[in-house]
Amino acid sequence: SQTIHQWPATLVQPVGSPLSLECTVEGTSNPNLYWYRQAAGRGLQLLFYSVGIGQISSEVPQNLSASRPQDRQFILSSKKLLLSDSGFYLCARDTYYGYTFGSGTRLTVV
Amino acid sequence: GDSVTQMEGPVTLSEEAFLTINCTYTATGYPSLFWYVQYPGEGLQLLLKATKADDKGSNKGFEATYRKETTSFHLEKGSVQVSDSAVYFCALSDRYRGGSQGNLIFGKGTKLSVKP
């Protein structure tokens, strides 16, 4: 199985509040994992990727951070959310056949 | 850097109409090319892929051919259905750059609405 679990599915948070989105994967060990954000009118933007435990690469500077405390766990965090952080966040892993995506988290910052 | 450009939507078609969604790319090497589909409220699903020039990816009646000479990967379907209404993303993988990670670069997506 290459299933990816993301939660929560939807989230409404006030500006300035913290954030923690979790992604867990099933299947083979040591997967490459990715966080993408889909904002209205802007397509999909790669935020972070990880090739192993504790290894995080950031694609864009921002107030978000990511961590990989376990092989199959990838967490997206923020200490203080901004309005511009609203969007649809997708976790993905790559496989021989292409990427497998989770079902996403819809974040609305109010 | 590498990039993907796809036609802007939304695209509205009647059922059984012919569909073309244009996609062109810019890359310095030989990327793999993908089409992903996103149904309302869901994550992305791989629709089809092609890994080298002249390859044709196909799935669920959709087709796309990797054209290196025109750097294109246009998505086509001969007869669309209402159930095909979704957002379609063209993407390329820069895995050819080496290393264990291959980041997908996406186009902005094209929303397709099919009317009965």
List pLDDT tens digits, range A26-44. Answer: 987 888 899 999 887 777 8
pLDDT attached to residue A28 = 76
Q: Which residues contact A96 (CB under 8 A, 6 or more apart)?
A: none
Residue B28 has pLDDT above 90, yes or no: no
Q: A49 with A34: CB under 8 angstroms?
A: yes
pLDDT attached to residue B102 = 67
Nearest-by-CA chain B residue for A91: B43
Residue A25 has pLDDT above 70, yes or no: yes
Higher pLDDT, A19 or B31: A19
Whole-angstrom distance, CA of residue B67 vs CA of residue B72:
5
Instruction: Note the pLDDT tens digit of each residue in B37-77.
Output: 999 888 889 999 998 899 999 999 999 999 999 999 999 99
Whole-angstrom distance, CA of residue B107 vs CA of residue B4:
5
Produce one character per residue of B77-115: b if its CB has 16 or more CB atoms within 10 Å, e if not: beebeeebbbbbbbbbbbbeeeeebbbbbbbbbbebebe
Indicate the average pLDDT of chain A. 89
Within 10 A of B32 (CB to CB), how many other CB atoms are there? 20
Whole-angstrom distance, CA of residue B44 vs CA of residue A99:
9
Peptide bond into B10 cis (omega under 30): yes
**B49 vs A contacts (CB less than 8 Å):** 97-98
Residue A13 has pLDDT above 50, yes or no: yes
**B45 vs A contacts (CB less than 8 Å):** 101
Q: Across the interface, which of B36, B100, B107 has its CB nearest the CB of A32?
A: B100
Over residues A56-65, the mean pLDDT reads 84
Residue B99 has pLDDT above 70, yes or no: no
The reply to whether residue B101 touches residue A46, judged by beta carbons under 8 angstroms, is no
Whole-angstrom distance, CA of residue A93 vs CA of residue A1:
12
Q: Smallest CA–CA separation between B14 and chain A, in Å?
A: 24
pLDDT band at A2 (very low <50, low <70, confident <90, very high): low
Residue A97 has pLDDT above 80, yes or no: no
Whole-angstrom distance, CA of residue B85 vs CA of residue B114:
6
Residue A72 has pLDDT above 60, yes or no: yes
Over residues B23-43, the mean pLDDT reads 89
Could you give the 3-state DSSP secondary structure of residue B72? strand
Over residues B23-35, the mean pLDDT reads 90
**B43 vs A contacts (CB less than 8 Å):** 6, 90, 101-104
